[in-house]
Chains A and B, each alone.
Chain A
Amino acid sequence: MGKRTAIVGFGQTYQRSSRKDVNGVELINEAVIAALADAELTIKDIDAVVIGNMDHFEGINYVDMWSVEGSGGVMKPIMKVTTGGTTGTTVAMCAYYHVASGMFDKVLAIGWEKNSESDTTGAIITAFDPIWERPNIGGAIAGLAVEASKYMDNYGITERDGARVAVRERLHALNNPYAHLHQEWMKGMEADKIVDLLVTSEQNQMLAYPLRMSDMCPRTDGAAAVIFASEDIAEKIAPIPAWVISTANRHNYVYLGDINWDANDTLEAASRKVFEKAGVKEPLKEIDICEIYLPYSYAGLKWMESIGFCGPGQGPRLVWDGVTDMDGELPVNPSGGVMSSNPIGATALLRVGEAAWQIMGKAGPRQVKKDVNLALATGFGGCNWADVMLLGKKRPS
């Protein structure tokens, strides 16, 4: 059935709070050029382009056409895909489907955002139902805060537990020159000392209980591009391609109040499907690194449980024990993750690209110090939907 497909190239811009020196098209171009260079390909080699962002962030509704000068998509098949926070993983899935179908050999997936060009909350609110939810919703932060508060109540989770996740993400980001947030003051400090500071500092403003500034992702300008190639050529392009082992997505949403807030049902179902297809039985043991879309700290506890890395309420234990640190059994987000860089339409594609680079051995100072055979990437969208993609070093049989 279809063609085995691998990632053969990844490129990104430096993730920054505001890129005043380029317009959106030029920003996209920087990532595309970087990905082509990484794969040692030229734009002539690309058969099709999949691109996405969140329309309302820039007020551009036809990015597929608008961006051709930057994407290199002139007179090529282009498909625009936009699914909110998951956009990046969805463009990756769509590019994978293009290649796996056997209809295209080399497909370029692009995600980008210039968050600085508009009002993030104003744009995100358009993802909620205009009649039933927009009049009485507080934007993304409040929605996540409600989830965090429920999780804390269910399992007796503390603010220190949440802060420990934030500390991991920010410490990891110090190894990633592309990351947006570089909190140099944390360098060399013990994690629990930083946690103490974060939960007591008055400067660390409480935004929406229990979420403080340090619990949230930033708003970022940036772009990412990933090149997928078929089994016929992948190994000719890349010495170690990152094969797509399996992928799945799940949507489950009518109104916020109808969601089961005790779990992350979509992430759980998509992960189960991916592991079932790949034959993964013990995710914690079998997976070598993760790039998980964690828009806020408590997700790094609860969602680890949903993926199946530990049981309900055990997320904090995993994180405090250092299992998810760079030298742990399962390093999570060596890149610093979403909490260190969040160019929304590119955010989930960064997860895929970073996971691929860990397999390809190209992650530089953030490369984990162990053999990476399986790497997991996820995407999270607005009202709890999920994309999951598992990459591997071994060509699937």
Chain B
Amino acid sequence: MSKMESENIYYEGRIKVPYKWYVGETGSRFFIALRDKKEIWGIRCPRCRKVYVPPVKNCWECFIPTKEWVRLKDTGTLESFTVVHYPNEVIPKKPPVVYGLIKIDGADGSLLHFVGDIDISELKTGMRVRAVFADERAGNILDIKHFAPIP
């Protein structure tokens, strides 16, 4: 076969589509408190009493609206973690990056977020952490910069 016949042609493309995702009133209230007051709020299901962070408009177990807002502390427990050693465009930080599941005190589920200000060798499941807020806050989940160990 000649070189021309064996060449595999490809067509290069890139799809870049802008989106505007509305958070909804429930989530907006969470982000406003985070942005303006550096406060973390959860929402409680009236039936099973579970406190959700991030807040949900409906309890997905009971399938009824959640209503009661609960002010939570900015402290919690590291339920699990990983250290990412590879760079990727979707990760807004340089490796190594620590991800943790943080169970905020008073909440029932965990929040997936970054763990920072930490020596990687000191990471331990069950360790106590505190939210570190971003200096410039825009009303999104990165208004919490990361969670740092409580000395």
In whole Å, how far is A67's beta carbon from the nearest beta carbon of chain B? Answer: 18
The reply on B81 being an interface residue by CB < 8 A is yes
Max chain A Cβ within 10 angstroms of own Cβ: one of B54, B56, B60, B80:
B80
Partner of A131, one of B10, B15, B27, B89: B27
Confirm or deny: A254 has a beta carbon within 8 angstroms of a beta carbon on chain B: yes
B63: which A residues are within 8 A, CB to CB? none
Q: How far is the CA of A145 from the CA of B84 in the complex (A)?
A: 9
Interface residues of B (CB under 8 A from A): 8, 10, 13, 15, 19, 21, 23, 27, 52-54, 56, 60, 79-86, 88-92, 97, 99-102, 109-114, 125, 140-142
Chain A residues with Cβ below 8 Å from B83 are: 208-209
Contact B90 A139 (CB under 8 A): yes
- Asked if A261 is at the interface of the complex by the 8 Å CB criterion, the answer is yes
Contact of B88 among A139, A145, A150, A211 (CB under 8 A): A139
Q: Which residues of B contact A150 (CB under 8 A)?
A: 79-80, 101, 125
Whether A122 lies near B23 (C-beta < 8 A) is no
Question: Which of A119, A132, A258 is packed against the most chain B CB atoms within 10 Å?
Answer: A258
- Indicate if A205 sits at the interface (CB-CB under 8 A): yes
Within 8 A of B (CB), among A240-298: 254-259, 261
Which residue from B54, B90, B99 sits with its C-beta under 8 Å from A125?
Answer: B90
* Binary interface encoding of chain A residues 117-134 relative to chain B, with 1 for a CB under 8 A from any of its CBs, else 0: 001011001000011111
With A132-B141, A254-B60 as contacts: A21 and B8 at CB distance below 8 Å = yes
- B108 to A, closest residue via Cβ: A258
Partner of B91, one of A133, A138, A261: A138
| A122 contacts B99, C-beta separation under 8 Å | no
| Cβ contact of B82, chosen from A136, A209, A255, A259, cutoff 8 A | A209
Q: Are B90 and A146 in contact (CB under 8 A)?
A: no
Q: Using CB atoms, name the residue of chain B closest to A252.
A: B60
CA distance A150 to B101 in the complex (A): 10
Contact residues, A13-35 vs B (CB, 8 A): 20-21
- Give chain A interface residues in 161-204, CB to chain B under 8 Å: none
Complex: how many Å from CA A211 to CA B91? 17
| A142 adjacent to B80 (CB under 8 Å) | no
Residues in B whose Cβ lies below 8 Å from that of A125? 90
Contact A208–B60 (Cβ < 8 Å): no
In the bound complex, how far is the Cα of B114 from the Cα of A201, in angstroms?
28
Query: C-beta contact mask, A42-56 vs B, less than 8 Å → 1, else 0?
Result: 000000000000000
Selected contact of A136 from candidates B56, B85, B142, CB within 8 Å: B142
Contact partner of A149 among B81, B88, B90, B110, CB < 8 A?
A: B81
| Interchain CB contact (< 8 A) of A141 among B81, B84, B113 | B84
Partner of A59, one of B15, B56, B79, B109: B15
Q: Which residues on the A side are within 8 Å of B60 (C-beta)?
A: 254, 258
